A and B are shown apart, each in its own frame.
Chain A
Amino acid sequence: MNRFLLPLVAVVIMIPIMILGLQSDPSKLPSQYIGKPAPEFSLPTLIDPSKTFSTADLKGQISLVNIWATWCGGCRTEHGFLMELARTNTIPIYAIDWRDNRPEALNFMNQLGNPYVASGFDEDGRVGIDWGAYGAPETFLIDADGIVVYRFTGPLNRALWEQEFVPRIAELQE
């Protein structure tokens, strides 16, 4: 019996590790900024290029930073929910319009509404890279000190909001 003991122990150790491995989605990358200050940036805003949206705007309040673009299908999907969220005045939503075309982006806003306090226009995609973005939409939760608390990748909706953001925001407000 003793000769089965070692393989048995090995299997017992490996099974939970492998189950964990199966459950994690390898296409979702963890953000490198969790617990760290949001990356430094300064962008002209989409609506008015003479104004800027920068890291400093994220201090003093809990906020969201949504990375979006008109080429991104998921952004269109979540836009209705972002509008709904903006109407409730729960949290200011800032945005980085990533690698986009200004007329198309403005057109998108005119058609579907503008949920953003400010949308930085990141024409060449540099700021998106600085945020470690790898696919829009991405939504970052930023605390009042400008520290990145959480990143969600993919289109948001009410259920995901309740599940992923509401408890984290409640924790920040304590």
Chain B
Amino acid sequence: MMKRIAVVLSFCLLTMSAFAIDSEKAFDDPALQARYDKLVAEVRCVTCQNQNIKDSNAFIASDLRREIRRMIGEGKSNEEIKDFLVTRYGDFVLYRPRFEGKTLVLWIAPFLLVLFGGIAMVRVVRHRMAMPLDGESNGNGGAQ
């Protein structure tokens, strides 16, 4: 049994190589290459929306990689490159949308939810603690 599992797992490892779509080095300069790697990992492939353009072999992904390579080569800043993409494809194209008016709800909603959840929890717990103990047992099945 263990052997069979090991065989299956090793086949899973084999498929990993299929994810290396963009394996060629884009720049000789390691600093530029690092910027490029970071950017392509943060840009969503617009036709295959749950992939970034680094991992997608869709032609639009390779075109966007080429554009990013070109802009880095032209000395454009990361902000300018993100502007280029957002102008054409909207905030959705960035996996980490920028913090601004339109994306404000997106950024603060999780914190607000945790805050409201926390307040609700504190209130419920306080309420329960104030209840007499024998009232608890016929409530929902007793001790937990």
- CB pair A134–B89 under 8 Å, yes or no, is yes
Among A27-35, A113-121, A141-149, the stretch in contact with B: A27-35
User: Which A residues between 106 and 164 are near B, CB-CB below 8 angstroms?
Assistant: 124-126, 128-135
Q: Give which listed residue, B59, B87, B90, contacts A29 with CB less than 8 A.
A: B90
Chain B interface SS verdict (over half): helix
Residues of B within 8 A of A (CB): 46-47, 49, 59-60, 63-64, 67, 86-90, 92, 120
Whether the Cβ atoms of A32 and B87 lie closer than 8 Å is yes
**Count, chain A residues at interface, CB 8 A:** 18
- Chain A residues with Cβ below 8 Å from B89 are 29, 32, 132, 134
A99 on the interface (CB 8 Å rule)? Answer: yes
Q: Which among A27, A29, A126, A130 has the greatest number of chain B C-beta atoms within 10 A?
A: A29
A29, B88: Cβ atoms under 8 Å? no
- Extra contacts besides A125-B59, A126-B63 (16): CB < 8 Å: A26-B49, A27-B49, A29-B89, A30-B90, A32-B86, A32-B87, A32-B88, A99-B59, A124-B63, A125-B60, A125-B63, A129-B60, A134-B46, A134-B89, A135-B46, A135-B60
Chain A residues engaging chain B, CB cutoff 8 angstroms: 6, 26-27, 29-30, 32, 99, 124-126, 128-135
- Given contacts A27-B49, A134-B46, A129 and B63 within 8 Å (CB-CB): yes
User: Is A132's CB under 8 angstroms from B88's CB?
Assistant: yes
User: Separation in Å of the B94 CB from the closest CB of chain A?
Assistant: 13
Kindly provide the distance from the CB of B93 to the nearest chain A CB, expressed in whole angstroms. Answer: 9
- Let me know if B63 and A99 touch, CB within 8 A: yes
Which among A30, A32, A134 is the interface contact of B47 at CB below 8 angstroms?
A: A134
Give the docked Cα–Cα distance between A125 and B87 (Å): 17
